């Protein structure tokens, strides 16, 4: 009777071995997205990235990979918008969706802020308007009204849905997550010496970013994507805060060459939040 029992045990062990080995395989992780994912301006630069992408090895995808032991493929690129998922952003830079496959386990991104130039246009336009009044009044709101928010709702949102659906098709097994953007401006009281936005336009700029993050949230909900909400955790860490507190660098008196973008602390905190929401441990 002993021989059959031993044979059964050996057979069971043989069947279990591949399962155990498979469980030890690293998480196959693909990072997509724009400069907030690439950590443009944060040192050190990623030597594997195209120079135009201004990618850092201190970005939140690298930090997530370090914490989880994941095998990372990072194609984040500064300036990317949703169209760059489908088309080459720069010569020699493949469409970001090309990095995905059925073998991917995890995909993360920030995207949407550059669509229709809304993010850049808001900061630039409101900065110029603020300088024209020496920081008084609300010249940006008076000039542009709901145009930025309208563009986000009518153009950015459907583009986000299209991009996220394409990600799920390319990586059907993967957990797909999209992060919101950490706060750039405080709720009400700004810092004209560092962020040249007029006093009355501070809530206006803040609201436009809220509309953008809400579009990201809604697109995630519409496509079965995990939304990593940064609204609460980034409160009090906007570009008006001092060094060591702020997660985003201001236009003036900042420490990074790429302004109005996350610094190393911001990228680390974005990674922490993503790890927690995704339950990566």
Is the pLDDT reported for residue 230 higher than 90? Answer: yes
Domains and CATH numbers, the chain: 27-278 (3.40.50.1110)
Q: Are 270 and 179 in contact (CB under 8 A)?
A: yes
Whole-number pLDDT of residue 264: 98
Is the pLDDT reported for residue 19 higher than 80? Answer: no
Whether 261 is catalytic: yes
Whole-number pLDDT of residue 6: 39
Mean pLDDT of 105-115: 97
232-260: pLDDT as tens digits:
999 999 999 999 999 999 999 999 999 99
Report the range of poorest mean pLDDT among 10-19, 139-148, 149-158: 10-19
Long-range contacts of 240-246 (CB under 8 A, 24+ apart): 240/185, 240/186, 240/189, 240/190, 240/191, 240/194, 240/195
Report the range of poorest mean pLDDT among 116-120, 166-170, 249-253, 264-268: 116-120
116-132: pLDDT as tens digits:
988 888 989 999 999 99
Q: Quickly list DSSP for the chain.
A: -HHHHHHHHHHHHHHHHHHHHHHTSPPEEEE--SHHHHTTTPSSB-TTS-GGG--BTTSHHHHHHHHHT-EEEE---TT--GGGGTS-SSTT---GGGG--TT--EEEE--STTGGGHHHHHHHHHHHHHHHTTT-S-HHHHHHTTHHHHHIIIIIHHHHHHHHHHHHHHSTTSEEEEE-PPPSS-SS---TTTS---GGGHHHHHHHHHHHHHHHHHHHHHHTPEEE--TTTTTT-STTSPTTT-SB--SSS-SSSS-SSB-HHHHHHHHHHHHHHHT--
Whole-number pLDDT of residue 20: 37
Give the active site residue among 35, 37, 40, 234: 35
Give the active site residue among 37, 58, 138, 261: 261
Whether 101 is catalytic: no
**Residue percentage of the chain with pLDDT more than 70:** 92
Mean pLDDT of 146-162: 97
Whole-number pLDDT of residue 18: 42
Is the pLDDT reported for residue 133 higher than 90? Answer: yes
Confidence of residue 12 (pLDDT cuts 50, 70, 90): very low
Q: Order of strands across the sheet with 175-179?
A: 71-74, 28-31, 106-109, 175-179, 226-228
Whole-number pLDDT of residue 119: 81
50-75: pLDDT as tens digits:
999 999 999 999 999 999 999 999 99
Is the pLDDT reported for residue 5 higher than 90? Answer: no
Share the mean pLDDT of the chain. Answer: 92
**Residue percentage of the chain with pLDDT more than 90:** 88
Mean pLDDT of 177-202: 97
């Amino acid at each position: 009777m002993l021989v059959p029992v031993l044979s059964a045990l050996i057979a069971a062990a043989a069947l279990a071995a591949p399962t155990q080995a498979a469980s030890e395989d690293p998480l196959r992780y693909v990072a997509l997205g724009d400069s907030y994912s690439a950590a443009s301006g944060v040192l050190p630069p990623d030597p594997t990235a195209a120079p135009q992408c201004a990618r850092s090895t201190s970005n939140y995808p690298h930090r997530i990979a370090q914490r989880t032991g994941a095998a990372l493929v990072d194609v984040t690129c500064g300036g990317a918008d949703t169209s760059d998922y489908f088309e080459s952003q720069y010569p020699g830079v493949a469409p970001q969706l090309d990095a995905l496959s059925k073998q991917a386990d995890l995909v993360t991104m920030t995207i949407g802020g550059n669509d229709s130039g809304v993010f850049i246009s808001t900061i630039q336009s409101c900065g110029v308007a603020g300088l024209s009044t020496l920081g008084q009044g609300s010249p940006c709101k008076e000039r542009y009204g709901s145009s930025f928010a309208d563009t986000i709702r009518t153009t950015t949102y459907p583009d986000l849905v299209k991009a996220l659906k394409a990600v799920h098709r390319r990586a059907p097994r993967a957990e797909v997550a999209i992060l919101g953007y950490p706060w750039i401006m405080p709720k009400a009281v700004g810092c004209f010496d560092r962020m040249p936005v007029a006093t009355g336009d501070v809530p206006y700029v803040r609201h436009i970013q809220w509309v953008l993050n809400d579009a990201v949230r809604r697109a995630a909900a519409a496509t079965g994507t995990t939304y990593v909400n940064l609204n609460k955790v980034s409160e009090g860490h906007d570009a008006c805060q001092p060094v060591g507190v702020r997660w985003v660098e201001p236009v003036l008196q900042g420490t990074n060459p790429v302004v109005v973008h996350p610094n190393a602390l911001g990228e680390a905190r974005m990674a922490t939040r993503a790890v927690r929401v995704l339950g990566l441990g």
